[in-house]
Structure 1
């Protein structure tokens, strides 16, 4: 079987970079994209801000102690979506197999690309060049035979770089790969691995599959495969959604309560989308992605339309309370969506129900 050619494109500090493009006089300063409030958390931080230890999902109060001189800019999600759409337009010139992960990153399967370019590394180079020319923003890329390896590779030469990991070099690469680079290995899992004397992906190979399952539960099955560079998941093209949604991918696994701090701002963003599309909604869905990449959803359906963004955020908080008590540092993504859409101004009063998934 011919190995796939997978590219993982990851925009560099996307929200912050878009804001700096719009306000170039702030270049070189520690810039934070966040609402400035006591309960706010960082959506994105420029590379200058990251040097002070600032990062996504950090409470703004903590960030201000670490870097009092940081410049705070409220997020403009409509702008980020518009820029993301232009980036995806570049992707579609090269392949139809595009799997968006968020506004700023996606997997592309270029095994058979539309430009008939023989090398995936050259394909990635052209994509990055076109993104820069059309948006003024830089992207990093990882090129590998599967999604797991491509995602790791995209982080290897950040920012504004790319790293090619051909099949014949995978084993040697994994032998010295730090465990913290493996998606899903958070602080708690890392501590447990180190207690076992394991520091690299290569070190995990001395464990049998059953041993890893005993140690790490169902995630042990995936760890066994990842330690060997195996990942058979195909790139799944985005499909039209029957709801409107917004979500944020966190750079590291966090407890549920910390992930939920993003809900009020996600609700405000989602409400603006609803207003722009001139719809109201009776259904709300919470989406969570766990450290081991399981998707958890919880949904509610109301008998009448939600009246305002505060009610939407309140519904999200109620759904958070319905998630079973998780392990620490369990979540890497949180999102909220609305369904059962009606035109603005509709007075329909339909059945009241509840769907928990």
Structure 2
């Protein structure tokens, strides 16, 4: 795999683009912290961008299937560069509306870019290399997040906010150059094989009867919503902690700690899986996520706040690969595409709900009480799901052969 030039192009491009993405995200948080006093309004602005991405999702999927993947990657990558210009105008004019335009345009570009990238990876590596490639792609994206957020924290201390967005533009420009270098085989025969392997033209509705037949997949799918309480509130929590501690640099430190812990978790879980069952891993780290939220009661303490995010990062680093293994091995392969598309849409909707709820709760009851509410909800849901699994005798272990429809 490492002799494949496309692999190196995709991974290096992801690293560069990730640096641009996360320096921009830190810039967004800093701008909103300066201009928008209400946490709920901050959440609404973030949600508007996510909603735009959800609405254009079905169209994006159709365009990607009917067009050359490289073309979609190039156009959406160029769209990212244009969207950053909107944010530079927002900073220059102090206008929130230009920031809203930025949020919408960047999410529209992402709605086309990321599915196209996922569709491109199977075209540049062999089937046997897909798992390894996806793993490396996830780790490179995490490395970009760690480096990008830490770098952004330093830049905010010594330079202006605009400099973060100039860095983003240069990064996205570098991504375009690497994308041009891709050599993708998109012959009609290849596309035809992909379509034949997923019979039926139905949408998400066909997934529901299948989920009823595979309770382990259904249970795991519902459990993946537990980390979204933390993930959906992540950025607003970081803003509030930064304000509470009166420190701009703590943002980068938090993102770096969480990202490093996440990468460690993805490595350590392979060794944990040799001693623990899949169900034990999933439920144990779901409980850990709930306790990590409760640690943020002490968010005024820099050490404990960073510790809470590090614990969370390690827990989700163990949780998500385990959940993904259950999905891949127990869900019938003929429904993988529709199932993962449904899962992506579900997570985006829940993410929006959590984001808006976080903004409202931060305004109404404050950070400390909000994390207590989220922590109690996470621990309660995990306990309920554990009891349900025992009562219904649902097996989450993935040692059995992949389930297939007869």
TM tier, shorter chain? under 0.3
TM-score by length of 2: 0.25
TM-score by length of 1: 0.28
Greater share of residues in helix? 2
> Which structure exhibits the higher relative contact order, with contacts defined as CA atoms closer than 8 Å and separated by 6 or more residues?
2
